[in-house]
Amino acid sequence: MRRALRCDGLPRQIHDADVYGAHPGFLSAVYPPANGRPEWFFFVCRAQCQGGRRRAGPGAYRLGSEARLLGGAAYCHAFRYYEDEAEVGSASTRETEWRMDEYGDCRSAAAAFDMVVCKLYPARGGIVHTMLGVHEPASPSHRPDMNKPQVLVQLYLDSLNLGDPRRCRMYATPDVFAAHPAVLTVAFPAANDRCEWFFAVHRRRRELEENDEDKARPRRAGPGAYVLVREGRVVNGNGGDIGYRRAFLYREDDATVRRVSRTEWWMEEYGFGKDFPHSELPAGKATMDEDEELVVYKLYLKMAGHRR
C-alpha cells in the first residue's frame, strides 16, 4: 500500500499509528485532522481476525457494512465504535458517535498480517462532530519529523500495561539514575531485537520543574553521568504541547574506560505535556498521585562515535 502511494514516507495527512490501540477520541486529540475536516487517516499493520469486531482501547469497533472497490481488488469495511460499560463486571456496551472505515487489499486476505488504511471520523450531525467543527491544518513547521506524536502515544499506551509481558516490555522502576545503565538493564529482558529497554517512572512535578530549569546540568548515575545532547517538543495538530523528547549520552567518569570502550550507552527521556489527552483514556487506569507525572525512558547501546 505504501508503494501504491508512490512515496517512501506517508503524506502528512496520513499518520503511521496503531488505530486499534486506543479510544478514537484519544487519537483525534493527538493527531491533526486531514485538510481541516474532522477526519483522521491512519496507516496500520493489524493481525487478521475473524468476525466483525476490532478491539480498540476501552471498547471495540463492530462491523456495520462492507463493500468491494477497484473491481474487487480492494475492500472497505465500515465500523461503529462501542465503549465497554464502566461498571465492574458489566458485559454491556454503549454505541458512540465514532465511525471508522477500514481500507485494505483483498490480495493480502490470507496473510497473517494485513496493512490497512483507516479513516476515523464522528457521525455527521452528532454532538462530537459539532464540537470538533473544522480545524485549521497545522503548519508543517509545527510538526518536526523527529518528534511526531505517535511515539509518545505508543509509550503512554504501553505504560498502561505494566506488569503484563504479553502486551508490553516496559518496566516500572523508582529511579533510572540509581546505577550505571548496564547494571540497571541486566535484570530485564530487552524489549526488542535492537536491544532497547523501556522504563516507566512516576516523578514528582517539583523534581521535573527543577530539571527543566537546569537542563544542561549532567545527571549523575552510578560511576558517570548522562549529558544532554539534543531535545525537541512534540505538538498536536493545533500546536498544543503534548510532550517532549530528550536524548542523553552516558559519560563514564573514568577516562580510561571512555578511551577503550567500543560502545556507548544512550538514553531518551519522554515526558507528557499539559495538552496530552490523558482524560480520553478509560477511567480507573490512572495510578499516579496528583503531584506526580509519568516519564518514560529508553536505554540502548550504540557503537562509540556513531550518531543516529
Q: Of the given ranges (43-52, 110-119, 185-194), which has the lowest mean pLDDT?
A: 43-52
The letter for the amino acid at 9 is: G
Beta strand 196-204 with 170-172 is: parallel
**Residue 112, pLDDT score:** 59
Q: What is the mean pLDDT of residues 83-102?
A: 76
**Residue 297, pLDDT score:** 95
C-alpha cell at 79: 465500523
What does the alpha-carbon distance between residue 104 and residue 199 come to, in Å, rounded to a whole number? 35
Q: What is the mean pLDDT of residues 134-161?
A: 62
Q: What is the mean pLDDT of residues 28-56?
A: 80
Choose between 193 and 174: higher pLDDT.
174
Taking only the tens place, the pLDDT of each residue in 197-219 is 999 998 887 776 776 666 778 99
C-alpha cell at 222: 552510578
What does the alpha-carbon distance between residue 270 and residue 232 come to, in Å, rounded to a whole number? 10
Taking only the tens place, the pLDDT of each residue in 215-240 is 778 999 999 999 999 999 888 777 78
What does the alpha-carbon distance between residue 261 and residue 83 come to, in Å, rounded to a whole number? 53
Q: Does domain 149-301 have CATH number 2.170.150.80?
A: yes
Residue 8 clears pLDDT 60, i.e. is over it? no
What does the alpha-carbon distance between residue 170 and residue 278 come to, in Å, rounded to a whole number? 19
What does the alpha-carbon distance between residue 144 and residue 234 come to, in Å, rounded to a whole number? 8
What does the alpha-carbon distance between residue 59 and residue 22 come to, in Å, rounded to a whole number? 9
What does the alpha-carbon distance between residue 296 and residue 305 come to, in Å, rounded to a whole number? 25
Residue 279 clears pLDDT 60, i.e. is over it? no
Domain ranges of the chain: 14-134, 149-301
CB 117 within 8 A of CB 103: yes
Give me the CATH code for the 14-134 domain, please.
2.170.150.80
SS3 68: strand
SS3 300: strand
Please indicate whether the domains covering 14-134 and 149-301 agree at the CATH topology level. Answer: yes
